[in-house]
Amino acid sequence: MSRISAAFEDGPAFIPYLAAGDPNYEASLSYVEALERGGADVIELGLPFSEPIAEGPTIQSAIVRSLEGGMTPTRFFEFVEDLDVDVPLVCMTYYNLIYQFGDDEERGPEAFVRRAAEVGIDGFVVPDLPAEEADPLREACDAHDCELIFIVAPTTKGERLERIMSQVSGYVYVQARLGTTGARTDLSDQTDASLERIAEWDVPKAVGFGISSGDHAQRVIEAGADGVIVGSALVDIVAQGVERGDPPVTVANRLESKARELKEGALRGAPSDEQPHPERT
């Protein structure tokens, strides 16, 4: 069993996201480590691309901060090597960085995935790479025992679902609503419909886009998800720290306690053995 699959074995998984290197290399290392202390089961690490078309303003700003701090793919892999965490890591990035990675002798998915696997990356989410264009990356992932995680959107129906189901591994990223990433104060009924469409899939379902509180996390798990993905609500904490000039240790503590709130919310949503949740039977 892969490390990512194992992370879903003991109840609902909490999967936080941060942009690596936001707002700088050293602080970012401590922020990611704080997430693990707060209860992260898998961590998504953003490798920033200059044109993040799937991101909302919060994560876009994080990407700008990280790039201005000198983050590059090479530096990203060093970052992962320097990280002191024991949970599976997923690299979230855009396809052009994967496509360009390497040197004059070898460029592209194979070189990228090989290096990623070497430093301990377990899987990839590539928001601008639909299943139709994913073969080269899929092959590289298979060769290096990495997972390729795909997003299912509220608009994904019919044949597209089949196509994604045949390609996805690790977990399926269920996009809770249309639009870009960003924390919201409510949850969409698009989430329920999306989860229902893929209920039979033999892969854990993790819901992301818009989850910002323990209560949200609880409701998502109650709706049948196996995990929750939270990005913008955490990136907001980093951004506030930058704005107020808070010391990194303060920001790390806030991240840890936010992570704990989200993880506990997810756990509350899990059906207990005594009282199986009606929606999950």
Partner 1 sequence: MSSETGKFGEYGGQYVPEALMPAIEELEDAYERYVLNNEDGFMDDFRERLADFGGRPTPLQHAKRLSDRYDCDVYLKREDLLHGGAHKLNNALGQVLLAKYMGKERIIAETGAGQHGTATAMACAHLGMPCEVYMGRRDINRQRPNVFRMRLNGAEVNPVTVGRGTLKEAISETMRDWATNVEDTHYVIGSVVGPHPFPAMVRDFQRVISEEAREQIREKAGQLPDSVVTCAGGGSNTMGVFAEFVDDEDVGLYAVEAGGSSLEVNEEEGVAPNSATLSTGTEGVLHGSRTRVLQDRDGQIMESHSVSAGLDYAGVGPELADLTDRGRVTAVNVDDDRALEGFHRLSQLEGVIPALESAHAVAYVEAHHDELGDVVLLNVSGRGDKDLETVLEETHNRDIENAPDIDTFAATGGFQ
d(CA 81, CA 103): 20
Active site residue 44: yes
CB 231 within 8 A of CB 31: no
109 binds partner 1 per the rule CB under 8 A: no
- DSSP-derived pairing of the beta strands 89-92 and 121-125: parallel
Residue among 30, 29, 125, 20 nearest 66 (CA): 20
97 binds partner 1 (CB under 8 A): yes
Q: Does 211 bind partner 1 (CB under 8 A)?
A: no
User: In whole angstroms, what is the distance from residue 270 CA to residue 272 CA?
Assistant: 6
Following DSSP, what letter does each residue of 177-203 receive, concatenated?
Answer: SSS-----SS--HHHHHHHHHTTT-SS
Residue 78 is a catalytic residue: no
- Under rule CB under 8 A, residue 160 binds partner 1: yes
φ and ψ at 91, to 5 degrees? Answer: -95, 125
Size of the site for partner 1 (CB under 8 A): 41
CA angle 22, 28, 29 (to 5 degrees): 155
Rounded least distance, CB 177 to partner 1, Å: 9
Determine the interface stretch with partner 1 among 17-25, 50-58, 198-206, 260-268 (rule: CB under 8 A): 50-58
Catalytic residue selected from 33, 36, 44, 222: 44
Taking CB under 8 A as the binding criterion, the range among 15-23, 154-162, 227-235, 250-258 that sits at the site for partner 1 is: 154-162
Binders of partner 1 among residues 15 to 44 (CB under 8 A) are none
Active site residues: 44, 55
Binding site for partner 1 (CB under 8 A): 49-56, 60, 64, 67, 72-74, 94-97, 99-101, 127-130, 132-133, 150-157, 160, 164, 175, 178-180
